Amino acid sequence: MLTNEELLEKYELTVGIECHVQLNTKTKLFSGVSNDAKNAEPNTLISPICFGLPGTLPYLNKEALRLAIKAGLALNAEIALYSKFDRKHYFYPDLPKGYQISQYDEPIIKNGYVDVQINSEIHRIAIERAHLEEDAGKLTHPSGADYTLVDLNRAGTPLLEIVSKPDIHTPAQARAYARELYLLMKYASVSDVDLYHGNMRFDVNVSVALSGSKELGVRTEIKNLNSFMNVEKAAAYEYLRQSGLIERGGKVVQETRGWDDAKQKTFSQRSKEEAHDYRYFPEPDIPPVRLDRKLIEEIKSQMPMLPHDARIFLKDRGIKEENIEVILDQPKILDLIIQLPKGTSNNIYVRAANWLSNEVQRVISENNFDIDKDLNLTAENLLRLSDMIDDGSISFTASKEILETIVKKDVDPKKIAEEKNLIQISDNGELDRIIEEVIKSNAQAIDDIKSGKQEAFGFLIGQVMKKSRGRANPGLVSKILKEKIK
């Protein structure tokens, strides 16, 4: 028996990922009903079109096309000037027309790539295609009931299915790719990327083969994962399962599998023999999409900053990689850094980045903030706060206390410092008096210092800080103390 480590050494993993991204259009892909099913009662966001009533016709939402183009540009892909829709047939109660309108052989997006970075190493993962399609409805099976409930609110929601090439070779890469897609869709503003509500769903295709082998093994598809962690875990689980199976002389069956979060394992759902013949053919109700180059250029010129450029921006300003990734997760936080005025020194960028990826994150999570609504930090206040440290008017410790307030409210940090009595004592007379008092009441410590015990010096500084209630500038205290004891 090989150990797990030996198994993973002997077999190589290959992963391809299909990701369904829900586009944040106002209305559905083919009808004028609201697309935001998040908090709606079942079957309230439906029209005769989403209900598949006789005589209804789909009418393509132009906004979905624009968003698909944006997503394609974010994926460094070709935008097809000619694409078309096709019908994909199967019977299921969540599919009102008996077919799904999708794009089969002429997708709107082709040949892109996504770079992911793991331990400073960049991996390029090719995107084969991305196509537009409508989502199906939602079925719920009440426990114990002999019926199933159909909710068609989601039926007809626009999805972009992004299909990667099998360029992924470690579970960590799979996770990084999923996260990168998330960031790309978020930064391109094409989706609300609410993972909890299934705005992005990942289908992970996994196969293993003997290391160095040119041929790919039989693959399984783990469907409907909705977190980066589960993408990684499912890939890792299948890697080990398939390798072990082959090692024991078994064969991997081509099948669809699900991820059991409670048991932390994949399970068989449907084998290839049960696979559908979808009978694709061109959708006759929607003419082929012919895009104008001008439209693509126009959208290109309005593209927001994408994660790749943001990373370069942050890196160029000396910010550490771990902070960069934290900042990237929240575009609003990134905006604060970007909004710092030109000519700001790297020291200040680094200080701001530290605050934003530590103290600010703590405030956000402790208060359960909705970043878009509750975060009222401004770049201006960040800069003011930083300046107050540099001009010695507050201590670094005090800055954190002030930060806690200006994260929630847009007020001048100086005002808060004054209110909270955090302004450092820069008046030498006052400081002198406090130090004199400390020296007088700590004769023993002075003796210790004179006899070479330097720890006592730190103790004295502590005493001064205590007496000043933290307002003394420690540098200045140290300097004055040294002079006085000499």
Partner 1 sequence: MGTWENIDVIAKKVRNKKLSPLELVNKAINNAKQAKEFNAIISLQEDVAMQKAKKIDEKIQNKKDIGRLAGVPFIVKDNFMTFGSETTAASNILKGYHAPYQSTAVERLESEGAILIGKANLDAFACGSSTENSDFGVVKNPHNPEYVAGGSSGGSAAVVALDVVPFSLGTDTGGSIRLPASFCGVVGYKPTYGLVSRFGVIALASSLDVVGPITSSVEDTQLILDVIAGKDGKDSTAVDREKSYITDEESLKGKRVGVIKQFMEHGLDGEVRNLVENKINKITQSGAVVEEVSLPILDEALACYYIIMPAELSSNLARYDGIRYGHSSSSAKSINETYIKTRNEGFSSELKRRIMLGTFVLSSGYYDAYYKKAQLVRSKLIADFEKTLSKYDVLIGPTASTTAFKIGKNINNPLQMYLMDIITVAANLAGVPAISIPIGMSVNMPVGMQIISKQKEDKKLLGIAREMEKL
Provide the binding-site residues for partner 1, judged by CB under 8 A.
48, 51-60, 87, 89, 91, 93, 96-99, 148, 150, 277, 279-281, 284-287
The radius of gyration computed from the CA coordinates of the chain, to the nearest angstrom, equals: 30
**Residue 302's closest CA among 70, 4, 481?**
70
Closest CB 206 distance from partner 1, rounded Å: 25
Q: Which is nearer to partner 1, 120 or 143 (CB)?
A: 143
Q: Which is nearer to partner 1, 94 or 380 (CB)?
A: 94
Closest CB 101 distance from partner 1, rounded Å: 11
Q: Which is nearer to partner 1, 48 or 462 (CB)?
A: 48
Q: What CA–CA distance (Å, rounded) separates 216 from 312?
A: 36
List, in order, residues 6 or more apart from 211 with CB less than 8 Å away.
Answer: 9, 10, 11, 12
Closest CB 280 distance from partner 1, rounded Å: 8
Q: Which is nearer to partner 1, 54 or 212 (CB)?
A: 54
**Residue 311's closest CA among 175, 174, 115?**
115
Closest CB 94 distance from partner 1, rounded Å: 10
Closest CB 156 distance from partner 1, rounded Å: 14
Closest CB 159 distance from partner 1, rounded Å: 19
Q: Which is nearer to partner 1, 98 or 475 (CB)?
A: 98
Between the CA atoms of 344, 350, 355 and 356, what dihedral angle is there, to the nearest 10 degrees? 80
Task: Determine whether 82 is exposed, middle or buried from the number of CB atoms within 10 Å of its CB (0-12, 13-18, 19+).
Answer: exposed
Q: Which is nearer to partner 1, 28 or 233 (CB)?
A: 28
Q: Which is nearer to partner 1, 31 or 323 (CB)?
A: 31
Q: What CA–CA distance (Å, rounded) separates 420 from 358?
A: 22
**Residue 149's closest CA among 138, 134, 163?**
138
List, in order, residues 6 or more apart from 377 with CB less than 8 Å away.
Answer: 336, 360, 406, 407, 410
Task: Determine whether 248 is exposed, middle or buried from the number of CB atoms within 10 Å of its CB (0-12, 13-18, 19+).
Answer: exposed
Q: Which is nearer to partner 1, 215 or 274 (CB)?
A: 274
Say if residues 398 and 422 touch (Cβ distance below 8 Å): yes
Closest CB 57 distance from partner 1, rounded Å: 5
Closest CB 325 distance from partner 1, rounded Å: 44
Closest CB 90 distance from partner 1, rounded Å: 9
Q: Which is nearer to partner 1, 118 or 275 (CB)?
A: 275
**Residue 202's closest CA among 185, 221, 224, 183?**
224
DSSP for 433-472? HHHHHHHHHTHHHHHHHHTT-THHHHHHHHHHHHHTTT-B
Q: What CA–CA distance (Å, rounded) separates 316 from 306?
A: 16
